[in-house]
Structure 1
Amino acid sequence: MTTNPLNEASLSKVTLSKSPMSQLPLSDYEKHRAAFMANMPNNSIALFAAASELTRSNDTEFPFCQNKNFFYLTGFNEPDALLVLLKNEQGQNKSVLFSLPKDALHEIWQGRRIGQIKAVQEYGVDESFEVADVETLLSDYLDGKSQVLFGFSDHDFAAQVFTWLKQVKSNIRQGAKTPQHLADADPIVAELRLIKTENELALMRQANHISGLAHQRAMQKCQVGKFEYQMEAEILHEFARHGARHPAYASIVAGGDNANILHYTDNSDVLKNNELLLIDAGAELSGYAADITRTFPVNGQFTTEQKAIYQLVLDAKNLAINAIKPGMSFAKLNILTNAFLTQGLVDLGIIEGDLTELISDKKVKEYFIHGLGHWLGLDVHDVGDYHINTDREQLRAFEVGMVMTIEPGIYIPLSDHSVDEKWRGIGVRIEDNIAVTATGFENLTANSPQTIEDIEALMKA
């Protein structure tokens, strides 16, 4: 049985600095731009579009969520903007931001805008113009450049880029020169985003701390007869109370057999006695996500069977986390974790057969049906190459500054009649957020109860 490094100190002693970070300094975004431009060839241009507001119904909009690559390079959180990065033939860089203009009437009805003067003063770009000037200025920026970089994954924006290139081409007779090479900017930004800076880690540490407080609150407020959505409300309340106004993703609050639906978000059922409650919820802080899952008994007391499954998943999680260090990979962690879970399910009598054959046949995947983890950052399932081979193994070696989730689970739905009835309806996932350090790892999820003893004690208090 593995040890749990999080229990070496009581949860009450887990604290952050007196001045926790709530957002990145704007100077960090200048560094992000500089790092990207270092990857640009001379005489090139890169284009990044902000997101647009999305209509929810009639004249109301969804809460605005900025394009994450654009946000990574600017920190600018208004819609319909455009970032242009220029590198001349001598390797000198320039950044230009096109954004919505100051508008007194708009600001009365919808809110204040940064405007072009403050965009230069506060966001560190070299020049800023109104979005209406894009059509007249962009052709000049594109003219004579040898390469254009933009995100190929955004098909609508790619179509817009081709429209701009067509405008340049229409002026060939007047001496214009259309760029001959197109390059995908997404992989470049993804590599930069994959390695977190100290400030990014501090921000993610705070997002995790807030999320941990929310999971504690859910455990304390949980009662038989409440609805899943009421527990979701407790989570969101705690997020906002500590400065995280939005969840990083739609919260999963799954009681009983609903836990065996991996992306269950209805959150509409009543919580029942002697069932477990799985909550997968994380706060978003200044764009950066936490992603934490905890599973606990609705009535505050694990049954014998729930304890057995829960402890197996907890030990598997800790086994994987304790193995994390530079040079490790998800592929190696999967081998370790899958073998451990297979042995555990054999010991419990849930699966039967020769252990070597069961491991070789990946029998455990009938019950552990998702991946062990994923990158984490500005997106919950963050960008970054996993170096997946033809066998779907994630071979990329971990490096200092990477942040990932580790989230083993065992799911036995009520409909599974191949197992003893006492196991049916149990679904357990436990998920922590881990940063790779020079000497091993840091568990960012430091204040969220996870041992059986800690959970039962907190729910009893």
Structure 2
Amino acid sequence: MLFSMMWRSLSMLSVYHQRQMKLISSLQEHAFAVLFAGKKRLRNGDVHYPFRQSSSFLYLTGYTQADAWLILSSNPNQPQTVLFVSNPDPKQARWEGGALSKADILALTGVTEVHYLSDFERYLATISVLHKHCYLPFAEMSLTSQRDIQDQLAASKRKRSIGALGYADLSEILAKLRMIKDETEITIMRQAIHDSGEAHRQVIQSARANQFEYQLENTFQSYLRERGYTALAYPSIVAGGSNACILHYTDNNQRICSGDLVLIDAGVEKNGYAADITRTFPVNGQFSPVQQLVYQAVLSVQESVIQMIKPGCDFGQLNQCAITLICEFLIEVGLIRASLVEAIEKQLYLPYYFHSVGHWLGLDVHDVGPYKHHDDWIPFEPGMVLTIEPGLYFARDITDCPREYHGLGVRIEDDILVTQTGCEVLSSACPKQIDEIEELRH
């Protein structure tokens, strides 16, 4: 059904209302905020891409349809939250399904009022006169949408000979709210991550040499589709052999050879929330000695980094730990010929490890939120969710790398919840120990 809605319970109505009130409490006095749901994007001809709601719009309302606007006001004499949705279209209803009524939307989103888009410009002109400040989420709105809103507001002010509005960025306020997950969000993410982990397990169990990468991708997606999932959190990476040395490889069209390692970076989306798990395994079911050496090195780095996670820790500390341990390994096996201090200072590890150890996770797979405030790293707080994903990559074009390493790429990624006393590995059920992976094939 085109006009499907998410989380249709009274408890979710309360959750959305609480989020809206938290955002309003962060605005200046006599200020209002404007958010746009986004438009459907044309793919070709008259065919559109599937619409995916703006993450912050989804976070605040649960409303999943395009061409909607949300206005929130800190003026006590105005409705606090007003949602504008598409006018009823009988022809569209016959072709694509009927829309929810305003009463239904009101009952599902937690907003104060629901109006049709035909009233939006008039309401915007009225509200601009009664407020001094306007917040827009610049990071999420297109420049065209920003200019359209600002032009309408400026014209309304000029018409009434009122001073111009002051504009502020809503993105930072939204990021701070979204960085700390509430219990509802954690429950949803826990399920998405668990089911993604089980899909990884299915792939590891069933993969065979001479299959194509897309066949493994199909195994992953089919497992989840059969359980009611309709969207992935991001394009799956299914990389056999040396393709694993390409960080965001998504062609997924090559044959996997006997003896190859396979790297799969894939996760599902549930109610908008992303899972993000990476596993690397031998397609034959048995690690070779050099594969086991590299894999265990990456696994040891990941486990050491995860053990550090607790409130007050930060990504700076995690990155430094990962780089130090990776350099120690590369020095030990003779791939870096320098002291540990020199290897770190001169970044001699970069040919083999060239990305951060992790990122925020939530409604976006690389979720909103800064990693630093000015020059200081943001400390972890309970409720934050992040990934930890160290890797080692031995691309064939690294000329001074011994041949036995050529084409090896290993990354291991888990999803981590910061708790009051430490952390919880939400993806812990997905096998990653060497003996666990090999036993799946015997």
1:53 aligns with 2:35: no
Match of 2:4 in 1: none
1:402 aligns with 2:384: yes
Change (3 A) 1:324 1:233: same
1:343 aligns with 2:328: yes
Q: Deviations over 1:165-188 (max 9, x none)?
A: 133134125xxx355311100100
1:428 paired residue among 384, 388, 410: 410
Equivalent positions of 1:17-416 (< 5 A) are 25-88=12-75, 90=76, 94-153=80-139, 154=141, 155-173=143-161, 177-387=162-372, 395-416=377-398
Q: 337-346 vs 348-357, which deviates more? A: 348-357
Q: Under a length normalisation based on structure 2, what TM-score does the superposition of the two structures give?
A: 0.94
Residue identity matched to 1:369: F
Q: 209-218 vs 231-240, which deviates more? A: 231-240
Residue identity matched to 1:220: Q
Maintained 8 Å contact 1:102/1:114: no
Change (3 A) 1:92 1:116: closer
Unpaired stretches in structure 2, ≥5 consecutive residues: 1-6
Maintained 8 Å contact 2:312/2:381: yes
- CA RMSD, Structure 1 to Structure 2 (Å): 1.7
Post-superposition offset of 1:389: 5.6
Alpha-carbon distance between aligned partners in 2 of 1:399 and 1:283, rounded to the nearest angstrom: 25
Alpha-carbon distance between aligned partners in 2 of 1:56 and 1:22, rounded to the nearest angstrom: 31
Alpha-carbon distance between aligned partners in 2 of 1:22 and 1:234, rounded to the nearest angstrom: 31
Maintained 8 Å contact 2:351/2:398: no
Post-superposition offset of 1:361: 2.2
Post-superposition offset of 1:240: 1.8
Alpha-carbon distance between aligned partners in 2 of 1:257 and 1:325, rounded to the nearest angstrom: 35
Alpha-carbon distance between aligned partners in 1 of 2:333 and 2:50, rounded to the nearest angstrom: 46
Post-superposition offset of 1:213: 0.8
Q: Deviations over 1:368-390 (max 9, x none)?
A: 11111010000011000111666
Maintained 8 Å contact 1:144/1:178: no
**What is the number of equivalent residue pairs in this alignment?**
433
Residue identity matched to 1:243: G
Maintained 8 Å contact 1:329/1:398: yes
Q: 147-156 vs 47-56, which deviates more? A: 147-156
Q: Deviations over 1:93-129 (max 9, x none)?
A: 6110000133332122112322322121222211111
1:450 aligns with 2:436: no
Alpha-carbon distance between aligned partners in 2 of 1:178 and 1:111, rounded to the nearest angstrom: 45
Q: Under a length normalisation based on structure 1, what TM-score does the superposition of the two structures give?
A: 0.91
Change (3 A) 1:91 1:336: farther
Residue identity matched to 2:405: W
Alpha-carbon distance between aligned partners in 2 of 1:74 and 1:364, rounded to the nearest angstrom: 45
Maintained 8 Å contact 2:37/2:68: yes
Alpha-carbon distance between aligned partners in 2 of 1:112 and 1:312, rounded to the nearest angstrom: 55
Match of 1:8 in 2: none
Maintained 8 Å contact 2:233/2:268: yes
Alpha-carbon distance between aligned partners in 2 of 1:287 and 1:440, rounded to the nearest angstrom: 26
SS at match of 1:250: coil
Alpha-carbon distance between aligned partners in 2 of 1:178 and 1:139, rounded to the nearest angstrom: 14
SS at match of 2:278: strand
Unpaired stretches in structure 1, ≥5 consecutive residues: 1-20
SS at match of 1:246: coil
SS at match of 1:366: coil
Identity of aligned residues (%): 38
Maintained 8 Å contact 1:144/1:179: no
Residue identity matched to 2:283: V
Change (3 A) 1:149 1:389: closer
Match of 2:401 in 1: 419
SS at match of 2:27: coil
Post-superposition offset of 1:38: 0.7
Alpha-carbon distance between aligned partners in 1 of 2:12 and 2:227, rounded to the nearest angstrom: 19
Q: 230-239 vs 405-414, which deviates more? A: 230-239
Q: Deviations over 1:189-237 (max 9, x none)?
A: 0000000001111111111001001100111121111111111111111
Alpha-carbon distance between aligned partners in 2 of 1:26 and 1:203, rounded to the nearest angstrom: 16
Post-superposition offset of 1:416: 1.6
Residue identity matched to 1:85: L
SS at match of 2:350: helix
Residue identity matched to 2:417: A
Residue identity matched to 2:393: Y
Match of 1:14 in 2: none
Runs of 4 or more consecutive aligned structure 1 residues displaced over 3 Å after TM superposition: 21-24, 90-93
Residue identity matched to 2:157: K
